[in-house]
Structure 1
């Protein structure tokens, strides 16, 4: 702190370091403080630093659940103290009316699929911006992945689906894969390549360090489980065999731990829950992964399901055997801290929920609105 003429001020570096740690809603409000702050918040250097801190250093837990008691979805952010810091408002447009799910989260944005109208949206819940993704020409049930590559500074969505083809009264299901690029705002079809004999088994993907990953299995005998990885920058698919120890874990959940792809699950018939970290390796045929078991945790219930990895822990849902009101099961949200090896229960989260998904989430100032559009702020 310096002084002169009875005025006190902090150095710019200190102010910058303080402001990047504020919640996005506070930063938006503080644009009115002065012109210098408004210009600072719009600068790319500040946006990059704010995203890095919020997303990678101090992310919240984004919990998407459906409350059967009130027949409505809930979306809330929880902090490192396991407290609800914000209940997010859902936009009133058509995509959120009759059911939706989050495909993935990246840099403060979530990719949302509408069940009723089969559209995709990118949504920044904190900035309250929504961007509609143009429809693909191919229909049918799909599996998606969403991620960002800093190498090409681009967000992409990958879609696996079937094309229906009728030849002489016989209907064929031809598997196809497409990728949407935010930079071009369009879809294109990719060569199936190494995916020709692979079936994607995970409904959700994980994304880290410019790569989107799914779980897959061979279609011939439904054995030989693999990781299916997609390099966002080069748009190349790579298959990595999964060790048999990992493949026996049921249920299996893909996530991100310390900015690396991780697989969590507990072995069938055992009282242990394990987490495997996938180390990325560059080879002649592109990126692939090596699998390392990072932790093995004793669990107390067969009804314990892995929800996601978050910070330095694993978030799980513990389902009571006795159903709650209206015959729906009651869930308790718990966190196993991998550092101190302790279980903790999230307060005020136990209720008759069909808990859909949890994501590591950092609010950001990144705007993906197309030129000329109007934000919902």
Structure 2
């Protein structure tokens, strides 16, 4: 503290500790405060600390809703009180036309896939309003593909993985024929050796999640459920059979405390099972083992749950059976959240919507630039 005629003073380390806790939009405004702050906000160390704090301490619940009749999408951020903090502006980029979807989220960046047949890809930081188009490949007109998006601190690079299937094979459940990987650092694609994933069928509608430099998907091999993982640094695929103790068919992948989480449920059983998967090293690479299991009783009034995501300590679900049409043809539905710390269910306030589908994920805003994306 300053005394007498001394000017108030805070150590720069204390200032940094305060600033890293602020929202991205506040940081962007504070660039004009002084040259030291402007330079600070560009450093890899500050960006990394701010990104980690946003993801761990104050992530938003992000809801992507889409109305097929009007081809209109909305993306909104909700805080811990389930209040809409912001409805994000959708870019005018071609990738966001006609049925786009988010196929991955990492360090505040969203990987977006446009509609068929071209399936354009782009990366988007909705907070600093940056969009970067991903170059197309010659195979972009093949059948619909599975995707993955993630970051590795070991190589300081963001990568997109895309699985291709032959043109003549119908459906998302066909086996993989070709794998390509995009690197943001080189802004280019290269072909990968499919290896074990050639025998894998991915779950319909399944997208990857990324933790600690590894992308993971749910799949089947010889009709048995497996985890398909991709080490972003080494660019190697690994298959891990899902343990036999997991009797409920896994349907959703998530992230909790930097670990992969699998969840699934049977309507008839009125229970939802959750498994925490630990990464373990072996001679052949990284594998997963089930370290924790939770069985959650589903309320009798909410049996048609659709698990959207894991958000902090809560599992976010939507009950399709409770969708009712109100005034002006708008449907109203409740999101239901299960807190696996307190073991309690709660409902969000009604959210009015005329949309046909809803997807949710945990999102922490960041200062990461798509044109200078290094994060330590």
TM-score (norm 1): 0.89
CA, structure 1 residues 305+245, in 2 after alignment: closer, same or farther (shift >3 Å)?
Answer: farther
1:210 aligns with 2:213: yes
For the residue of structure 2 that corresponds to 1:137, the secondary structure is: coil
Deviation at 1:347, TM superposition (A): 2.5
Deviations 1:113-172 (A, max 9, x none): 000541100000001000001112213211101000111111111111124489xxxxx9
Whose strand fraction is larger, Structure 1's or Structure 2's?
1
Q: Distance in 1 between matches of 2:323 and 2:311?
A: 28
Aligned to 1:152, which of 120, 140, 155? 155
Alignment of 1:262 with 2:264, yes or no, is: no
CA distance in 1, matches of 2:149, 2:175: 24
Give the stretch that moved more between structures: 203-212 or 90-99: 90-99
Query: What SS does the corresponding residue of 2:349 show, helix, strand or coil?
Result: coil
Q: Is the 8 A contact 2:145 2:162 kept in 1?
A: yes
Q: Name the structure 2 match of 1:131.
A: 132
Paired position in structure 2 for 1:275: 274
User: In 2 relative to 1, CA 297–182 (structure 1 residues): closer, same or farther, beyond 3 Å?
Assistant: same
CA contact 1:332–1:351 (8 Å) conserved in 2: no
- Deviation, 1:319, is 2.1
**How big is each residue's C-alpha offset from its partner over 1:266-319, in whole Å with a ceiling of 9 and x where there is no partner?**
135211112111100000000010023432111112211110001011000022
Q: 1:101 to 1:22 in 2, by over 3 A?
A: same
Give secondary structure in 1 for the equivalent of 2:17. Answer: helix
Q: Which residue number corresponds to residue 318 of structure 1?
A: 319
Residues matched between the structures, number:
362
CA distance in 2: counterparts of 1:294 and 1:120, whole angstroms: 36
Paired residues of 1:3 and 1:9 also in contact (CA < 8 A): no
In 2, distance between residues paired with 1:71 and 1:199?
30
**Structure 2 unaligned runs (5+)?**
none
Q: How far apart, CA to CA, are the structure 1 residues paired with 2:27 and 2:108?
A: 14
Q: What is residue 303 of structure 2 aligned with on the other side?
A: 302
Shift of 1:27: 0.6
User: Which deviates more, 117-126 or 74-83?
Assistant: 74-83
Q: How has the CA–CA distance of structure 1 residues 165 and 294 changed in structure 2, closer, same or farther, with 3 Å as cutoff? A: closer
Equivalent position of 2:355 in the other structure:
353
CA distance in 2, matches of 1:305, 1:109: 25
Q: Which moved more, 1:60-69 or 1:103-112?
A: 60-69
Note the 1:101-250 alignment, pairs <5 A. Answer: 101-116=101-116, 117-138=118-139, 139-140=141-142, 141-164=144-167, 175-202=177-204, 203-218=206-221, 220=222, 223-246=223-246, 248-249=248-249
TM-score normalised by L of structure 2: 0.89
Q: 1:160 to 1:68 in 2, by over 3 A?
A: closer
Question: Which residue does the alignment assign to 1:292?
Answer: 291
Q: What is the root-mean-square deviation of aligned Cα atoms in Å?
A: 2.4
Which position in structure 2 is the counterpart of 1:30?
30
CA distance in 2, matches of 1:356, 1:136: 29
Q: Secondary structure at the match of 1:90?
A: coil
Farther-moved stretch of structure 1 (253-262 vs 338-347): 338-347
Give the Cα–Cα distance (whole angstroms) in 2 for the partners of residues 24 and 273 of structure 1.
Answer: 36
Q: Does structure 1 conserve the Cα–Cα contact (< 8 Å) formed by 2:333 and 2:350?
A: no
In structure 1, list runs of 5 or more residues that go unmatched: 167-171, 372-377
Q: Does the 8 Å contact 1:62/1:360 carry over to 2?
A: yes
